[in-house]
Amino acid sequence: MDLVVRQPRRAEPGETLFGTDFSTGPGGKGLNQAIAAARAGASVRFIGAVGTDAFAERLRDRLVADGVDVEGLRTVPGATGIAQITVTDDGQNTIVVVPAANADRAFSVDDRATVAAASHLVVQLERPIELLEVALRHARDAGVTTVLTPAPARAGLDALLDLADVLVPNEGEAMMLSGRDDAESAAIELSRRAGTVIVTLGERGALVARGGAVVRHVGARPARAVDTTAAGDTFVGVLVAWLADGRSLDDALEAAVAGAAITVTRAGAAESMPSRDEIDRALASPVATGDV
């Protein structure tokens, strides 16, 4: 569950600021990506965990409302995971995640069957790394395309990088994981391990690397940012929805950029994500992109 405070700017250490608004809403990278993909037209099944508190049913209901299959959403003792989000007046955000129920490591027989039946498995780092490695290996063995969003980024992800057919970090995550000091060098380095690396660059679009070379740059779409909280999750969800529909990577990238540009013009996380119709309308007004 997202606990969101809006405030004029970041607080300095030891400083107290007055905020301008507080809200709660369904969030988490997994839920956000699932909803983004579902709204973009994909058939989505969700594997995750919630606690026994009041947040659990709100999260379950949010997924169901967007047509996401929640048979794999288990209930475990204790609290549901939360994210404390600060959004400043310039639209930027900082996030602190408390995993709680997300620390559950179970990967059941039913979970394995769900993964094996999918075209794509999308994972992110708000679940235990040990669980993700097992799930990614199982997906690979079943011929399922694996997609890794390495956030929140951390050290010790070599095994996961090697199991990613598609790796989608933002610029900071890419540099942290690669040890490089610019996005292009980071993408090149990471593409020597993962299959296709797509580094999102915010208002500068995204770049794509494969086999140690940058192969494409996708331009951003003009947007007046109100809240950037779920832009990266929208990008991933829309990207995978297009790929699962049999579209080319180029088409999927264009759609992902368009979806993210819509999201940042709205407040909130899951509630800010666009529908398939909205993305299609945006794509009717293309922006210049090109191969590198």
- Annotated binding residue at 80? no
- Annotated binding residue at 204? yes
DSSP, collapsed to helix, strand or coil, labels residue 23 as strand
- Annotated binding residue at 232? yes
- Annotated binding residue at 149? no
Cα–Cα distance measured from residue 18 to residue 41, given in angstroms and rounded to the nearest whole number: 41
- Annotated binding residue at 30? yes
- Of 2, 104, 111, 233, which one is the catalytic site residue? 233
- Annotated binding residue at 59? no
- Annotated binding residue at 10? no
162 flagged as catalytic: no
- Annotated binding residue at 102? no
- Annotated binding residue at 195? no
Q: Let me know how long the chain is.
A: 292
Cα–Cα distance measured from residue 15 to residue 68, given in angstroms and rounded to the nearest whole number: 42
Quick one: angle between helices 129-141 and 109-116, nearest 10? 50
- Annotated binding residue at 132? no
The helix or strand, by DSSP H or E, that contains position 262, with its residue range, turns out to be: helix 249-263
- Annotated binding residue at 243? no
- Annotated binding residue at 190? no
- Annotated binding residue at 91? no
Q: Fill in the DSSP letter of residue 112.
A: H
* Residue 30 dihedral angles phi and psi, to the nearest 5°: -65, -50
- Give the residue from 185, 190, 116, 187 showing the smallest Cα distance to 146: 116
Decide: residue 99, CB within 10 A, 0-12 exposed, 13-18 middle, 19+ buried.
middle
Contacts of 40 (CB under 8 A, 6+ apart): 237, 238, 241, 242, 255, 259, 274, 275, 276, 279
Question: Which parts are annotated binding residues?
Answer: 28-32, 126, 170, 200-205, 227, 229, 232-233, 263, 266, 268, 272
Catalytic positions are: 233
Residue list, annotated binding site for ATP? 170, 200-205, 232-233
List, as residue ranges, the binding site for K(+). Answer: 227, 229, 263, 266, 268, 272
